[in-house]
Every structure is written in C-alpha cells, then in structure tokens.
Amino acid sequence: MPTVEIIYDADCPNVKDARAQLLRAFVKAGLPPQWVEWDRGVSESPSYAHRYGSPTILVNGDDVASAPPSEGAACCRLYVDEGGGLRGVPSVEAIALALLQAKDAGDIIEQIERR
C-alpha cells in the first residue's frame, strides 16, 4: 500500500477539495483510502512538510504534480489542469496515476522478495 500524505495550511481554501480529489483517486485506483495529514503550521509536522505549498499530495514521498520541494514554500499551490488552466488542487487522474505507479512498484518489489 502506498504511503500518502496531504500537506496543508489550516486556512487553505483548497484543502477540502484536495481531500475530495484524493478520495476519488483512491476509488479510481481501486485502493482503500488511507493517508496522513500534516499541518504546515504545527511544529510536530516533519521538516519536509514545510517545503511544500498548500495543498500538496505526496505518494511515497513524491509530489503527484512532480514539483520539487523548495525553501520558503509558505504559499498556496496552483496546478495546471488538462486544458492548461490553473486549479487549486491536483487532478484525480494525476493522483490516481501516482497511486497506481506506487502500488505497481510495491508489487514488483514484493514479487522479487518472494523469490
């Protein structure tokens, strides 16, 4: 099962939509929904969470939109949609693809370890 994380700011207007997109992506990928959430404003959040804008979805540590972490990322995220427009959340397709790729990689590793 892939490790999934949402990184967000408590006042981010797009967090609710990011969670909804994530749920849709889990359904599309045929996986049970399970993730961890990190509030960037809380000191208990891991240090890497402070290097992403809000909201960010990571699958096995990789941003679903392939954006690298950066210093000073205390900002809102924008994502390019299929039509070239900007949105406040990643697409269901991008999230589902990341989930499936992580699952497939895990399955391959498991098969190799069984040999």
What are the boundaries of each domain within the chain? 4-114
Q: 22-56 burial, b if ≥16 CB within 10 A, otherwise e?
A: bebbbeebebeeebeebbbeeeebeeebbbbbbbb
pTM to 2 decimals? Answer: 0.85
pLDDT at 108: 43
| Closest by Cα among 110, 99, 83, 75 to 27 | 99
| Closest by Cα among 99, 4, 5 to 54 | 5
The residue assigned the tokens 């402070």 is 50
In the chain the first and final C-alpha atoms are separated, in Å, by 20
pLDDT, one tens digit per residue, over 13-64 is 999 999 999 999 999 999 999 999 999 889 899 989 988 989 999 999 999 9
pLDDT at 109: 42
pLDDT at 115: 53
pLDDT, one tens digit per residue, over 58-70 is 999 999 988 877 7
